[in-house]
Amino acid sequence: MRERNGFRYIIKVFEAQWDRLHDETVKPFFEQLKRDTEETYTRRNGRRKDRPGHDALFSYIVFQNSEGLKSALYGHDQGVDNRAKIAYFACHGKRGAISAVQDISRTKLKNILAPLSSYDGLYLGACDFVNRKTAEVLLGGTPYVKWVAGYENWTPWLEGMLCDLMFFRMLLSGRFVRPGSRARWDPYGRPEDVAREMYALFPTAVDLRFSLFYRSRERVCSTLEEHMVGG
> HEC string of 120-142?
EEEEEECCCCCCHHHHHHHHHHC
Between 53 and 120, name the one with better pLDDT. Answer: 120
Residue range 154-178, pLDDT digits in tens: 999 999 999 999 999 999 998 888 8
Query: Going from the N-terminus, what domains does the chain have, and what CATH number goes with each?
Result: 9-230 (3.40.50)
- Split at pLDDT 50, 70, 90, the class of 10 is very high
Strand partners, 62: 15
CB 87 within 8 A of CB 40: no
Report how far residue 214's alpha carbon sits from residue 147's, in angstroms, rounded to the nearest whole number: 4
Name the 3-class secondary structure at 23.
Answer: coil
- What is the mean pLDDT of the segment spanning 25-54? 84
Least Cα distance to 91 among 19, 1, 159 occurs for 19
Residue range 91-117, pLDDT digits in tens: 999 999 999 989 999 999 999 999 999
Residue type, position 90, single letter: A
Report how far residue 111's alpha carbon sits from residue 68's, in angstroms, rounded to the nearest whole number: 14
Report how far residue 8's alpha carbon sits from residue 197's, in angstroms, rounded to the nearest whole number: 20
What b-and-e string marks burial along 37-60, b requiring 16 or more CB atoms within 10 Å of the CB?
bbebbeeeeeeeeeebbbbbbbeb
